[in-house]
Amino acid sequence: MPTFAELKPEEAKKNPDPDLTELKVDGCCMTWDGTEFKSERGIERSDRFPQIITDLQQIDAVVQGEVAIPGGHVLQVNAKTNWPKARFYLFDVTEWKGKDVSGNSVLENRRVIDQILRSRFKHLRSCRQFDTFALGWAYVLNQRYAEGLVLKSDVGKSYKVKHLTEVKVPIVGYESGSVKGAFLIQMPNGE
């Protein structure tokens, strides 16, 4: 998966539409290699999301995506009470049915993801796709926790365009973990 440069919304509006525009899901990036479900830092997380693992074990693919709470934000994924609510939003596939597909175009990659998900899974999703940046951005602006868009191109750079970035909030606790823990924070809305 290529590294995405960040683009401001005003700059994205001036650029021609990319090959693929998808919703940037606000969650934790994970990779399923066929047997293990690992974070970007290489930490195995299958134990947190058994409902997702049950679905992933039914596909013959190596995929990358975001673990997220539908309609939520990344901080909700970190709370143990929310782990059963999590879904896995696929955005990249590098191997499918024993074949290396890492050289696929972004549109071919999306078609493979759609084929993988043709069998309806309860906990696996694809990232919402838009025909144009303008349509995608209008959607982002009308959602409570939409992080932004990902603009994928086969030629030139691919970008992420963020609407939600960060917020300064107080840390109110800490939850231990077997490898690392999670800070508990107090959101401005009381969560």
How does pLDDT run across 138-178, given as a tens digit for each residue?
999 998 778 899 999 988 788 999 986 666 678 888 888 77
Angstrom distance (rounded) from CA 30 to CA 45: 9
Name the region of 42 (left: φ>0; alpha: ψ -120 to 50; beta: rest): left
Q: Provide mean pLDDT across the span 4-23.
A: 90
Q: Provide mean pLDDT across the span 80-106.
A: 96
- When the pLDDT of each residue in the chain is averaged and rounded to a whole number, the result is 90
Lowest-confidence segment of 76-85, 110-119, 156-165 by average pLDDT: 156-165
Amino acid 117: pLDDT: 96
Using alpha carbons, select from 182, 190, 184, 189 the residue that is nearest to residue 28.
182
39-63 per-position pLDDT tens digit: 998 999 999 999 999 999 999 999 9
Q: Provide mean pLDDT across the span 63-70.
A: 96
The dihedral built from the CA positions of residue 19, 30, 42 and 58, taken in this order, carries a sign that is negative
CA distances from 70 to 6, 18, 84, 123, 128 (A): 24, 26, 12, 10, 12
Angstrom distance (rounded) from CA 137 to CA 100: 33
The kind and range of the H/E element at 99 are strand 99-100
What pTM value is reported for the model? 0.84
Residue scoring higher pLDDT (186 or 37): 37
Q: Provide mean pLDDT across the span 73-100.
A: 94
